[in-house]
Amino acid sequence: MPRRVLEPQFAIEHLSILDSDGNLDTSLEPEIPPDGLKRLYRAMLLGRRLDERMVRLQRQGRIGTFAPIKGQEASQMGSVFALRPTDWMVPSFRETAAMLWRGWPIEKMLLFFAGYLEGGRPAPDQHDLPITIPVATQVPHAVGLAYAAQYRGDDAVVMVFFGDGATSEGDFHEALNVAGVWHVPIVFVCQNNQWAISVPLKKQTHSRTLAQKALAYGFPGIQVDGNDVLAVYAASREAVERARGGGGPTLIECVTYRLGVHTTADDPTKYRSEEEVKAWEQKDPLTRFSQYLQKKNLLEERLEEQIDAEIAAAVQRFEATGAADPLTMFDHVYAELPPDLQAEREELRERLEKSAPRRSDEEVPPPLPMRGQRKTSRWQN
């Protein structure tokens, strides 16, 4: 029998609207009101300045290890800007700018990276999942959310973020397969920053793009200039509208670059060259977008001062938080604490009471609950 072509040769598009030299393709320029452009730039700048402040806080020992976002602000903000508050956002561990846009207080994120479990709890009315540290484990969770929205008939879209390293994990492929089979309303946003810690993209896949991996699972994929916030938004808006209209999933590959360290425990000079970093600095998404706004006369005066003051006030609120209650380590794992752990909890409680500073009346105060916690039923929504 002769061979038959079952699928024609696929094609993957690359979208760029505003390049690093300031050239604008007006035919593709998305319609964003002036106020929206200002808010978008402010969110990107806030993400960058908070990122820089957090690095200093970590080096001073005031917070723990975290993953900086410098260089990836356009990939995050261009995509999340297309969502409604009633849609779901599922982050990995490097979505600070997107989380700020979705309403996470700065001090709450600082609490998380200082080791307070309370910092990872979304607000009761917030349609976000917490930060996810293990690579790619959040992708199947996001598909589950999308399936639930579809099953219940909710008018909601799910957007999940991950890096290029996640595409080498089984969770990623299993999630895309289920999403394609069930045709769920989800947008997969891959921030391809070229490095999975110290492993370059070329050692992760032989595919020319990551976007093309969507085609094997039966839905569209597109590659965009991840440092071009206009291109990211245009692709994301189209994907969100497709999902909301019943058109199923989309995979968006944002080609970007991590200008800083993988985490504050990393030394990228061990595996990448200074020349490579400098070349990508010329494509800085913040510089590119600010020049675009300057031509439109939309840059706000004293914006840097306002952002610095906002961050400083949040740091003060964070550092004014009282010490965490160590007994919370026993909470939120079991519905009913097993006898052995109950005994350990009681032993720790007694030791804490004995070691606590005593008041003049010899009374021992109980451990204070964290800000925003109740003394009982802490996690009831």
Q: Which of 53, 94, 102, 258 is catalytic?
A: 258
Phi then psi dihedrals of residue 126, to 5 deg: -95, 130
- Which one-letter DSSP state was computed for residue 217? G
Of the candidates 181, 196, 254, the residue with the CA atom closest to the CA atom of residue 221: 254
Pairing between β-strand 158-163 and β-strand 186-192 as defined by DSSP bridges: parallel
- Which one-letter DSSP state was computed for residue 289? H
* CB-CB contact of 197 with 266 (8 Å): yes
Q: Which of 56, 271, 334, 351 is catalytic?
A: 271
* CB-CB contact of 153 with 182 (8 Å): no
Active site residue 271: yes
The whole-angstrom separation of Cα 60 and Cα 45 is 23
Integer angstrom CA distances of residue 62 from 6, 104, 266, 367: 59, 20, 18, 22
Active site residue 262: yes
Tokens of 301: 């005066």
* CB-CB contact of 160 with 90 (8 Å): yes
Q: What's the per-residue H, E or C state across 138-158?
A: HHHHHHHHHHHHHHHCCCCCE
Residue 128 in 3-state DSSP?
A: strand
- Total Cβ atoms within 10 A of residue 220: 18
Q: Which of 102, 262, 288, 292 is catalytic?
A: 262
- Total Cβ atoms within 10 A of residue 275: 8
Q: Where are the alpha helices (DSSP H) in the chain?
A: 34-59, 73-80, 96-101, 106-113, 138-152, 170-182, 229-244, 274-281, 285-295, 303-319, 339-355
* CB-CB contact of 138 with 160 (8 Å): yes
* CB-CB contact of 210 with 190 (8 Å): yes
Active site residues: 258, 262, 271
